[in-house]
A and B are shown apart, each in its own frame.
Chain A
């Protein structure tokens, strides 16, 4: 690109790439799940198509994928050959479960974002002190150990110890929306916050070596004011990248969190269908639907994040160069 050309915010090419990725992901997700379901169908005589009798020939792989795609274009998740009742039932179930997952994710993000930013700032600010090293070690530990270990430790801390010591560490008893959310959100936001903090620390370490930061330090500026006025404005690009990575970590962990804490979301549904068998009848559309919705969610957040990244000043500068 010529250096005199105006910087662009979001190029048409980027939007096209995102759109292609969007369609491709959905096709990939459906092909993956339907393809593997076909493999199982041969063993269990299950079929995405509603077969009238066993004499009817089995649908081919291409027919199954096109059936499901056709169903999506008709606005439901049950496959083109499903009955109206099945369409309504399966779609409603997926939408309800999807809403539950989004609730958990929304609250987690609201907690994890400030936690990660603050944690990252403290880690950089206190990097030469023991507290900073502990914060760094804690973040690495939270990311490196399997998420179910954190889940079980949380259960032991909150429920078992609380019961034996007669204290309530977290307000978790009850059936309300807020009370059920506390432990799952704590686990998810700890892991997500740790990821974001580490991502921001790497970026802040690079910024801290810049001359103008040294000059500001030499003039006596330090601590929170230095971070807030000189470092934070430059963190937009790493922040978006970090949030995207955090989302992946959070959604990856969410599958286990929903399963262990019995949160009635999309991941639990997928696990129930996969490991326990949800229905004796037509479980595949649910399975495919849950996988498709998860993939759609991933690709939409990914695309939004990348478009936001294109919109930042630093990226515009890079493109203009």
Chain B
């Protein structure tokens, strides 16, 4: 019987060898990205449109608690369905966080590879990295967003998101630097040098492709850090989304939902808990994905 089971379930991984963080994190992040991409199909209505409830001809006072007719997660103070806001919020939140992470990855990997490759340049780069690492991301983000936000232009918001990526790249750079300097002393790189391959060729053909194992998990970690930053800024009432003259947000972002929910928590705790839990689950998902990817590459 045991032989039969062995042959039938041979394709299954052995218990204990499963990379659970990768499986859970991968599934959850796919789900979040899927929701962000499919938002118009999942929520065909305008999420910013208020839903007004009447009882016996009288308008019910907002906010509506979860489970109110047609509102699974309740409404906010402006009578908007929180579920719709969360679904559409995934789009902009992941977009902004992705932009922050992309800028950090770009700067971190380029600086790290240069510092790891050239010891002379590393002497110049090291103090700069130490200086940038010394500025807390939350403080820099706070200053940048508070002072540059304002006109509601989407391009400006994207620019601010990009500016948030100017700090927080040093961890990526350090990992890339260590990996590059280790690869530089590898036998195959020395063989390539002996064969007369130029520095550019070695970097392009041997170093950068082999940095994939470092860069892929780092990208997921960068996404985690960017989401954390947006969440914490939102908690401090600082968010990337802007509102028009009537106070209606131009685009929905989870950070804004946390900011508004926290200020309106006395009227209904669900307004802060729901976006906070969704944000936390998203961050945890990316963290697990990153951890899983790192474990996969360690093997």
Residues of A within 8 A of B (CB): 13, 17-18, 20-21, 24-25, 28-29, 32-33, 36-37, 39-40, 43, 140-141, 143-149, 152, 248, 251-252, 255-256, 259, 267, 270-271, 274-275, 287, 291, 294-295, 298-299, 302-303, 306
Q: Is the CB of A275 within 8 A of B280?
A: no
**How distant is the Cα of A257 from the Cα of B232 in the complex, in angstroms?**
11
| Interface residues in B, total, Cβ within 8 A | 39
Q: Is the CB of A256 within 8 A of B144?
A: no
List the A residue with the shortest CB-CB distance to B258.
A148
Q: Is the CB of B131 within 8 A of A37?
A: no
Q: Is the CB of A21 within 8 A of B126?
A: yes
CB distance from A200 to the nearest CB of B (A): 16
Q: Is the CB of B155 closer than 8 A to any CB of chain A?
A: no
Q: Is the CB of B142 within 8 A of A18?
A: no
Residues of B within 8 A of A (CB): 123, 126-128, 130-140, 142-144, 146-148, 150, 224, 228, 231-232, 235-238, 272, 276, 279-280, 283-284, 287-288, 291
CB distance from B104 to the nearest CB of A (A): 15
- Chain B binding surface SS class: helix
Q: Is the CB of A148 within 8 A of B143?
A: no
**How distant is the Cα of A255 from the Cα of B139 in the complex, in angstroms?**
8
Q: Is the CB of B130 within 8 A of A18?
A: yes
**How distant is the Cα of A299 from the Cα of B288 in the complex, in angstroms?**
30
* Top 6 closest pairs, chain A to chain B, by CB: A21-B130, A298-B134, A144-B287, A299-B134, A25-B131, A21-B127
CB distance from B195 to the nearest CB of A (A): 27
Q: Is the CB of A295 within 8 A of B135?
A: yes
Q: Known A146-B279, A259-B236, A271-B142; judge A251-B136 contact (CB<8 A).
A: yes
Given contacts A146-B280, A275-B236, 19 further A-B contacts (CB under 8 A): A17-B126, A21-B134, A24-B128, A25-B134, A28-B132, A32-B140, A36-B144, A40-B147, A144-B283, A145-B284, A148-B235, A255-B139, A256-B138, A256-B236, A274-B238, A275-B238, A291-B139, A299-B134, A302-B130
Instruction: Point out the residues of chain A lying under 8 angstroms from B126, CB to CB.
Output: 17, 21
Q: Is the CB of B147 within 8 A of A248?
A: no
Instruction: Point out the residues of chain B lying under 8 angstroms from A43, CB to CB.
Output: 150
Q: Is the CB of B130 within 8 A of A294?
A: no
Q: Known A146-B283, A275-B236; judge A252-B142 contact (CB<8 A).
A: no
Q: Known A17-B126, A302-B134; judge A148-B232 contact (CB<8 A).
A: yes
Instruction: Point out the residues of chain B lying under 8 angstroms from A275, CB to CB.
Output: 142, 146, 236-238
Instruction: Point out the residues of chain B lying under 8 angstroms from A303, CB to CB.
Output: 130
Q: Is the CB of A256 within 8 A of B147?
A: no
CB distance from A10 to the nearest CB of B (A): 15
List the A residue with the shortest CB-CB distance to B273.
A152
Q: Known A17-B130, A144-B283, A148-B231; judge A29-B146 contact (CB<8 A).
A: no
Instruction: Point out the residues of chain A lying under 8 angstroms from B123, CB to CB.
Output: 13, 17
Q: Is the CB of B146 within 8 A of A25?
A: no
CB distance from B251 to the nearest CB of A (A): 21
**How distant is the Cα of A106 from the Cα of B91 in the complex, in angstroms?**
41
Q: Known A28-B132, A148-B231, A299-B131; judge A294-B283 contact (CB<8 A).
A: no
Instruction: Point out the residues of chain B lying under 8 angstroms from A37, CB to CB.
Output: 147
Q: Is the CB of B136 within 8 A of A25?
A: no
Q: Is the CB of B134 within 8 A of A17?
A: no
List the A residue with the shortest CB-CB distance to B287.
A144
Q: Is the CB of B133 within 8 A of A302?
A: yes
List the A residue with the shortest CB-CB distance to B228.
A146
List the B residue with the shortest CB-CB distance to A299.
B134
List the B residue with the shortest CB-CB distance to A18.
B130
* Pairs A–B under 8 Å by Cβ, sample size 15: A17-B127, A25-B130, A33-B143, A36-B144, A39-B147, A140-B288, A144-B224, A146-B276, A146-B279, A146-B280, A148-B235, A295-B134, A299-B131, A302-B133, A306-B130
Q: Is the CB of A252 within 8 A of B136?
A: yes
**How distant is the Cα of A89 from the Cα of B51 in the complex, in angstroms?**
52
CB distance from B188 to the nearest CB of A (A): 21
**How distant is the Cα of A6 from the Cα of B134 in the complex, in angstroms?**
32
Q: Is the CB of B235 within 8 A of A256?
A: yes
**How distant is the Cα of A47 from the Cα of B238 in the complex, in angstroms?**
23
Instruction: Point out the residues of chain B lying under 8 angstroms from A295, CB to CB.
Output: 134-135
Q: Is the CB of A29 within 8 A of B236?
A: no
Q: Is the CB of A21 within 8 A of B231?
A: no
Instruction: Point out the residues of chain B lying under 8 angstroms from A149, CB to CB.
Output: 276, 280
